[in-house]
Structure 1
Amino acid sequence: MSVFTKVSYNELRDFLQQYPVGELIGYQGIGEGIENTNYFVDTSDGRWVLTLFERLNYDDLPFFLGLMDHLASRGFTGAMPARTHEGKNLVTLNGKPAALVHRLTGQGVLFPNLAQSAAVGSALGDLHVTGLSYAGRCENSRGPAWREQTAKALLSRVDKDTRALIEDELKAQSKLNFAALPQGVIHADLFRDNVLFVDDRLTGVIDFYYACNDALIYDLAVTLNDWCFETNGHPNAARWTAMTDAYRARREPEESERAAWSLVLRAAALRFWLSRLYDWTFPREGDVVHVKDPDQYRRILEHHRNTAPPAL
């Protein structure tokens, strides 16, 4: 279980006195988190998720929480951070920065259908349009510079074929100028476990802690690579079409995005392949049960390198 910081009942009860959320009823640790400690919390006035931030840059936390507040207050289906009696949404618990947010109903889906894929495309388009009015700024911590740095750390530790693939893809990616593409706030990690559903109704987008300012179309590429690929590394054409059509109904890509689309899809696949390959090669203490198979994203990258994507 990924509960890095233990919180006792009494500690949590005292912590909650800062908020207008009623009395503590119960709580339990959430095992899915990798970067943070998470608890489900029930009080007499509602249901919440408590997050203690273990590894994120403290200076970036106001951006994440402010974005969640900005989106939710404008009707986006995301969690609203709770505020203390003093109006703060970021506080401290057991020496760690912490936030309490409303717990949304629903659960993630492992095998999405067409209706769910379309709902995610619509939500992503809504996020990009609504996020344009958010004044916060945060650089992408997993952007091109990170990919270069991570690749260099891996090159001496991987086999010959893997090294050749990484080097060739980095050379191809050097031709892609992300800054020249339409920019805005992106989720950057909109995987299946970060979207909640009740049947086919999307009830919430969660985990904004990789959100940043970057190329909007890159966010669509990240999302498609997770939601619309089978485990064999081939896309599901029906889900792909459902998601992209729904996204375009909310936000129409520009010509520059269409022209760069193939390389953007490859960049999104490379980012998660490198991330997983790094975690596989340099495991952190306590990560053994959480390291995901890097070959899944290698197969997606190789598909994009060998096959032109459907036009946007």
Structure 2
Amino acid sequence: MAVYTDITDEELEALLADYELGEALSFKGIAEGVENSNFLLETDTGRFILTVFEKRVRGEELPFFLDLMRWLADHGYPSAAPIRDRQGRMLKSLRGKPAVIVAFLQGLSVRRPSVAHCREAGRGLAWLHQASEGFSGTRANDLNQAAWAPMFDRLKADAEALKPGLAAVIDGDLEMLARDWPSGLPTGVVHADYFPDNVFFHGAEFAGTIDFYFACVDAYAYDIAIALNAWCFEADGSFNITAARALLAGYEARRPLSAAERAALPILAHGAAMRFFLTRLADWGSTPPGALVKPKDPLEYERKLAVHRAAPDLVLFGAGA
């Protein structure tokens, strides 16, 4: 979430004329994240989020994301449901870019998750995987393992500028991941961006999930690996085994892992760290001037890669193996 596209009062008024949401009372940009332009909208009927899609999101894929969010909300999962206009459309256009208004989801994200938050986040992720069963939409993961080496070919100079010698290390990681990447694991719809800023709580209780714009069909265990990286590393770069055990215990309270999924967690976590290192590296020098956003540091995920490289068994300890 970020602000790359400004919306004028006249543009907002014209957009709201298509909905039954009443008149705008307040409207302000949300200066977080790196992907899309987001605004908090309050009207005389309630609070909403307006998103204008930028960068990686392809217009032809938006119906998948919006239909998924609608499916989850209709099946009892706490997610921000897209609002339909008077003609039943969820997808709109602003400044020639696709846009959507979604319901405001109550709750707060946490910057420093506790062990209790990690347990609840795991439960919420398993619930998401279960709630999406039966959803007929499909979308391949365009940031999967096969995409990483071609992506890095364009970023090697950036990696060297960031840290001399890093390009060769990343090449070695990519060779290992291509050779050993698991197959045949249980698959379904995954969030693929299950970070603390995308998960809401009431106190320490899971309250809902937002930002489904990387959702795709992939291995459930890969989604868990993304979450382990996002929730279970300390600020000093160390892996918190207690937090990992809590996250996995929360997950397995709803959906137990198979032996194959558990055994694959180390390489999946290594690969998940690679995915976010590469996209952060790509974003590092490409944020538009004037955007109300600070790109996320790729070195955070370079440090996580180093942990997985040196001690992959840490993830298995976290899994209770």
* TM-score class normalised by the smaller sequence: over 0.9
The residue matched to 1:180 in structure 2 has which SS? coil
Q: How far apart are the structure 1 equivalents of 2:236 and 2:203?
A: 26
Question: 1:243: Cα distance to partner?
Answer: 0.5
Matched ranges for 1:47-66 at <5 A: 47-55=47-55, 56-66=57-67
Which of 280, 283, 286 is the equivalent residue of 1:283?
A: 286
Please state whether the residue corresponding to 2:66 is helix, strand or coil.
helix
SS of 2:316's equivalent in the other structure is coil
Deviation at 1:156, TM superposition (A): 4.2
Partner Cα separation in structure 2 for residue 269 and residue 276 of structure 1: 11
Give a deviation string over 1:52-79, Cα, whole Å, max 9, x none: 1122100010011111111111111111
What is the deviation of 1:204? 2.1
Distance in structure 2 (CA, Å) of the matches to 1:283 and 1:16 = 32
**Compared CA separation, residues 288 and 102, structure 1 to 2 (3 A):** closer
Q: Percent identity?
A: 38
- The 5 Å alignment of 1:1-312 reads 2-55=2-55, 56-157=57-158, 158=160, 161-280=165-284, 282-286=285-289, 289-307=293-311, 308=313, 309-310=315-316, 312=319
CA drift at 1:202: 2.4
The superposition leaves residues 260-295 of structure 1 with CA deviations (integer Å, 9 ceiling, x where unpaired) of: 221111001111112222333x43433695222222
* Larger deviation, residues 217-226 vs 90-99: 90-99
The residue type paired with residue 316 of structure 2 is P
Structure 2: which amino acid aligns with 1:292? Answer: K
Counterpart Cα distance in 1 of 2:122 and 2:105: 19
Tell me whether 138-147 or 183-192 shows the greater mean CA deviation: 138-147
Q: Which runs of 5+ in 1 are unaligned?
A: none
Instruction: Give CA-to-partner distance per residue, 1:221-276, whole Å, 9 cap, x none.
Output: 10110111012221112211111001011111222212322111100111111222
- Render the CA deviation track for 1:100-158: whole Å, top value 9, x for unaligned: 10011222211111221111100100111111211111111211232111221223441
- The range that moved more, 19-28 or 57-66, is 19-28
Structure 2 unaligned spans of 5+ = none
| RMSD between aligned residues | 1.9
- Length, aligned pairs only: 311
Whether the aligned pair in 2 keeps the contact of 1:27 and 1:39 (CA below 8 Å) is yes
How many angstroms apart in 1 are the aligned matches of 2:292 and 2:20?
39
| 1:145 partner SS | helix
Tell me the TM-score normalised to structure 2 length.
0.91
Residue 2 of structure 1 and its aligned partner are, at CA, apart by 3.8
Which structure has more relative contact order (CA 8 Å, sep 6+)? It is 2
**Distance (whole Å) between structure 1 residues aligned to residue 41 and residue 164 of structure 2:** 49
The letter of the residue matching 2:170 is I
